[in-house]
Structure 1
């Protein structure tokens, strides 16, 4: 069986970009960072900081890795939350398809939680847009980021769901006018341990979805050969020459995004990163937008560390303690204490029992 790529599983009738009506923006707008299945924290945030009249927008990655992903999706639907698609929503749709078609043992385990999704839950995920614009607030919500210098309808889907950094480009003049610059097309690096697709594959799949009739403009890459090429391309991985995209975003639209838990809360002049690592024992953070008032941030603490961050795993690998190692440690401590007692006795201040 050939499993469809993730973007092909999105609803072809759903728009790629959504603009909220003025009515939906007149009430407070609450933009919530990555939830990752942390249902209890999501409930606490809604109960503590949200009102019934609020428009709630989730910045993608509602699911995966955390303890109760299916329940997060169901609650989001029940509360009529809007949301943008993240890389983990795309990966989960692929996981659903793979489990139905006979997945590998690893994929079967990783996406076992999708068995608890109802049909309406899956349709909710399939219909998510890449961005939600809030013109009254001069803001836009996207999961991962936007590349500076690229119009919204020309942003690549894989950048909007996966990028964290920018890499500066040197434009290449192609022999055929308008041919896509190769440096903008290929960058086959991405996390694989969470079920995500190789970077670059998502763009291909999105193009396939567009051909199948999904709403919105055709996904395309910036082109050289007579048309200006933006100075950057997006990158998922943290490479030496990469820079945080939000530091180069100059507005005027303010971007609210998630995806980058490693950098935690990001507050730039025209961009705010809301993924503060609730999955890793941090916080679930939200931005509250209210007309006539400055935006403010609220959060709730994680109830536990559900996943150990990869950096911690690398820096502090789990200790493997054999019986011999434990006995050696005890013996070593005994020698230390014995030597200390001798030294103290020599100074005449040894404890007397």
Structure 2
């Protein structure tokens, strides 16, 4: 294994992903990890899934993958009186209806986090609540947190008093996506790499050399490589 490459939210931006992989000269000997939300909103979610699966990359589960998996479970349990029906938006439903049984099994295997102790970092989709052990984090937090309320409770929209990453004190360093901005988020112990590709921004990857310990704060910039979006596929 030569390098560890962590890619931000792709959201169906297949062309941008292929160009980014060429720019960083991805090789099969590299370890490739995605922060989740491979799908939805962009032009080619199925193409992204096919490419990532063929590469054999690791994918941390995002909230959009979670939506499809919850829908799938509700369909399987449709005869259960106590089961709750899950409704999908048309863009999610189109993807769900096109997936094969092997696709579903693969997506179900996506973990909620991935630890990289040799780099002293942890990859999650959205983040975590500071001061709570990883094992005790609520599933919704890992998939959807954006910030904290004044009472330090998780907040899932942008109307909060503080970004969770600003309040988090590691180790480990957290690399996350979900909270899209047109520039990376740099906090002392957390780095956000969802740089809004599907909204016309960039697709960003963090590239770490073998056993390289991730630096803190703004020093992370030197590890990031981005590919500009080729269009605005979804309103920001």
- Per the normalisation by structure 2, the TM-score is 0.85
Give the 3 Å change call, closer, same or farther, for CA 149–105 of structure 1 in structure 2.
Answer: closer
Q: Which residue of 2 aligns with 1:303?
A: 230
How far off its partner does 1:297 sit? 0.2
- The 5-angstrom pairing of residues 272-351 of structure 1 reads 272-290=191-209, 291-292=211-212, 296-309=223-236
Deviations 1:153-190 (A, max 9, x none): 00111000000001232xxxxxxxxxxxxxxxxxxxxx
Which of 18, 23, 48 is residue 72 of structure 1 equivalent to?
48
In the TM superposition, 1:32-181 aligns within 5 A as: 32-49=7-24, 50-96=26-72, 107-108=89-90, 110-169=92-151
Contact 2:71 2:88 in 1 (8 A): no
1:242-273 residue CA offsets vs partner (Å, 9 max, x unmatched) = 21111111112110000011474101111100
Q: Which has the larger radius of gyration?
A: 1
Structure 2 contact 40–91 (Cα < 8 Å) conserved: no
Q: What SS class does the counterpart of residue 168 from structure 1 fall into?
A: coil
Unaligned 5+ runs, structure 2? 79-84
Q: Pairwise CA RMSD of aligned residues?
A: 2.2
| Distance in 2 of aligned mates of 1:131 and 1:110 | 23
| Offset of residue 106 of structure 1 | 7.0
The whole-number CA distance in structure 2 between the counterparts of 1:143 and 1:106 is 20
**Superposition pairs of residues 196-275 of structure 1, within 5 angstroms:** 232-239=152-159, 241-262=160-181, 264-275=183-194
User: 2:68, 2:92 within 8 Å by CA — same for their partners in 1?
Assistant: no
Q: Distance in 2 between matches of 1:97 and 1:114?
A: 12
Cα distance in 2, alignment partners of residues 139 and 253 from structure 1:
5
Q: Which residue of 2 aligns with 1:207?
A: none
**SS state of the match for residue 89, structure 2?**
helix
Pairs aligned (count): 220
| 8 Å Cα contact 1:59/1:143 also seen in 2 | yes
Separation of aligned partners in 2, 1:109 and 1:245: 30
User: How far apart, in 2, do the equivalents of 1:27 and 1:118 lie?
Assistant: 32
Higher strand share goes to which structure?
A: 2
* 302 and 154 in structure 1: CA distance in 2 versus 1, 3 angstrom threshold: same
- C-alpha deviation, 1:123, in angstroms: 1.1
Q: CA deviation at 1:45?
A: 1.3
Structure 1: distance between partners of 2:59 and 2:191: 17
SS of residue in 2 equivalent to 1:36: coil
Unaligned runs of at least 5 residues, structure 1: 1-25, 170-231, 310-353
